[in-house]
Structure 1
Amino acid sequence: MISKLCNKIFQDAINDYHLHNNIDQPIHNTYKISTIEHLLYLKCWIDTVQWHMEDVVRNPEIDPVEGLQWKRRIDASNQERTDVVEYIDSYFLEEFKDIVPSATAKINSESPAWVIDRLSILALKVYHMGEESQRSDASEEHKQNCTVKLNILLNQQTDLSASLDDLMADIKSGEKYMKVYKQMKMYNDPSLNPVLYNPK
């Protein structure tokens, strides 16, 4: 089951990050570069680092210049995240290239990699909500509320994992087929963003 592999690697990446909990710590991805495991670990590592950058930039006391620097780092990270999603889809396109879809095959609203993207973010939500549900300096009400939310997130994780496995099974059987639309982001492209190609 692909979801089991994803959830294990995502948890490993999140735990590895929190050993030092430092945004600038180097990644230590021990999986072979050409493997899906390498891509999954990289994906979740990027998400984990970006999660903590998003926390920093929301400090109401942050210096505006510093805040802009963080915003640009987050933009760069988000582009990297999107690139890795496309690498994951490319991996699956290659894996499924010899499968002939049935005459009634349908396309899914999301490609496998974008479901995996959601699963990675969900793993981070579970981790951090779990932390909040056990915070020693928080009120009992806060911890109880976070426990309720954690249980919902865990249920969502179970459902999304099952949906991913079903999608992969349907693609392998030819009941569904993959169709990937490459990113069409415009704001990073100097030829498409009017602020960049026609600065005032």
Structure 2
Amino acid sequence: MFSKLAYSVFEQSIQDYHKYDNVDQPINNPFPKEKIEHLLYFKNWIDTVQWHFEDIIRDPQIDPVAALALKRRIDASNQERTDMVEYIDSYFLQKFAGTPLKPNAKINSESPAWAIDRLSILALKIYHMREEATRAEASQEHRDKCQEKLNVLLEQLTDLSTAIDDLLHDIEKGEKFMKVYKQMKMYNDDELNPVLYQNKK
């Protein structure tokens, strides 16, 4: 099942990041570039670094200049994340390119890669909620509440994994088809963001 493969790669990426727990730690992708695992690992590494960017920027003592610089890094990371989703969808488009469609084939509300994007974020939620549920210095009440939340996340993992595998199975059988729309981010484009293009005058 593809979801099991993807989740195992996400877990490896998260574990590798937390060996250093440093947003500036360079990625050391262990998978060959021609493998889908390479894209999955890269995708989750971006998500993991951004998760910690979001923690850092919420520090009430953060220097405003540093916060602005970090916000720009978050914006760049968001764009990179979107690019990686599109690369993963390109893999599936190529994989299923020759699949004959059934007459009643339907389109799904989201592409496979955007569902996999949610699986990557869910892997991070599970990792960090498990940390909180077992944090020794936290109160028992805190750990119990986090364990309850972790149980919900694990249930969500089962449901999302099933949905992803069902979607890929339906596409493979020609019962659903992929249609990918490129993300048209306007705020990073100096031709589309009024603040940016007015400053160019």
TM superposition score normalised by structure 2:
0.98
Alignment of 1:110-149 (within 5 A): 110-149=110-149
Q: By how many angstroms is 1:32 displaced?
A: 1.0
Deviations 1:26-80 (A, max 9, x none): 1110111121110000000000011001000011111111100110001101100
Q: 2:93, 2:123 → 1: CA distance? A: 25
Alignment of 1:37-56 (within 5 A): 37-56=37-56
Q: Is 1:65 matched with 2:65? A: yes
Alignment of 1:1-200 (within 5 A): 1-199=1-199
The number of residues matched between the two structures is 200
Task: Give the % identical residues.
Answer: 65
Q: 1:147, 1:30 → 2: CA distance? A: 32
- Tell me which moved more, 120-129 or 97-106: 97-106
Aligned-pair Cα RMSD in Å: 0.8
Q: 1:28, 1:5 → 2: CA distance? A: 19
**Which 5+ residue runs of structure 1 have no aligned equivalent?**
none
4+ long deviations beyond 4 Å: none
Q: 2:86, 2:100 → 1: CA distance? A: 22
Q: 2:174, 2:4 → 1: CA distance? A: 22
TM superposition score normalised by structure 1:
0.99
Q: 1:3, 1:110 → 2: CA distance? A: 16
Q: 1:81, 1:174 → 2: CA distance? A: 29
Deviations 1:69-94 (A, max 9, x none): 11000110110000000000001000
